[in-house]
Structure 1
Amino acid sequence: MERSLQIKAMANPGRMRILRLLAEPKKYFGHQWSADPVEFGVCMTLIADELAIAQPTASRHLDILRQAGFIRVRKQHKWSYCKRDEAAIEDYLAWLHGELSVPVQARARTRRQR
């Protein structure tokens, strides 16, 4: 996955909130009747409603998160359901931790050696 897409996805507070909400789908979307939010994912419409934003805005945020690999989208009839990709999120966090943990001087030496 291209890290720049992931950084862009995480740079927006609305997208961060979506990921936090999707971390606990039963808590925030337990009222979803069309499918189990934990097993199947959360309907995009409910995400837009929870954030109190327009459907196209929510759709754009979700598409950016999908492109970054942080969510998977499953289509069922006319509905789209979103679910976090925990492995991708863990991979990104591990990469970010590594980037921020390496001293600046060591990163500069590594770049010069390439």
Structure 2
Amino acid sequence: MQIKAMASETRMKILQLLVKPQTHFGQQWSADPVEFGVCMTLIAEALEVAQPTASRHLEILRQAGFISVRKHQKWSYCKRNEDVIQDYLAWLGRALSAAG
């Protein structure tokens, strides 16, 4: 599932945007984007895609463990799961080294 999650430019863009949520989503007023996460609606706007399209990409990232999703009132907020991302990158590095 993690390889599938990383096999999309859109999902990679989401993870890149979420590296610096304050920079990319500083206009979020409903919750601190660094501490709480970024509203899915703002992520869809940043990607210039429809909400259902963004939700589908975010769900794949959630299933892979790369992001966590927290609901607050009527909104859902996404935040990178740095531990899982680092574990995946370490695994990928080992897998590529062993292949040679």
> Tell me, what secondary structure is at the counterpart of 2:68?
strand
Partner of 1:40: 36
Query: CA–CA distance in 2 between the matches of 1:18 and 1:34?
Result: 20
TM-score (norm 1): 0.86
Aligned alpha-carbon RMSD (Å): 0.6
Is the counterpart of residue 95 in structure 1 residue 58 in structure 2?
no
> Structure 2: any 5+ residue segments left out of the alignment?
none
Partner of 2:12: 16
1:52 to 37, 44, 48: 48
Where do residues 63-74 of structure 1 align in structure 2 (5 Å cutoff)? 63-74=59-70
Query: CA–CA distance in 1 between the matches of 2:99 and 2:45?
Result: 43
Equivalent residue letter for 2:37: G
How far apart are 1:101 and its partner, in Å? Answer: 0.7
Structure possessing the higher radius of gyration over alpha carbons: 1
Equivalent residue letter for 2:48: A
How far apart are 1:103 and its partner, in Å? Answer: 3.9
Give the % identical residues: 70
> Tell me, what secondary structure is at the counterpart of 1:33?
coil
| Residues 20-74 of structure 1, C-alpha deviations (whole Å, 9 max, x = no match) | 0000100000110000000000000000000000000000000000000000000
How far apart are 1:102 and its partner, in Å? Answer: 1.2
Aligned residue-pair number: 100
Equivalent residue letter for 2:82: E
> Structure 1: any 5+ residue segments left out of the alignment?
105-114
> Tell me, what secondary structure is at the counterpart of 1:75?
strand
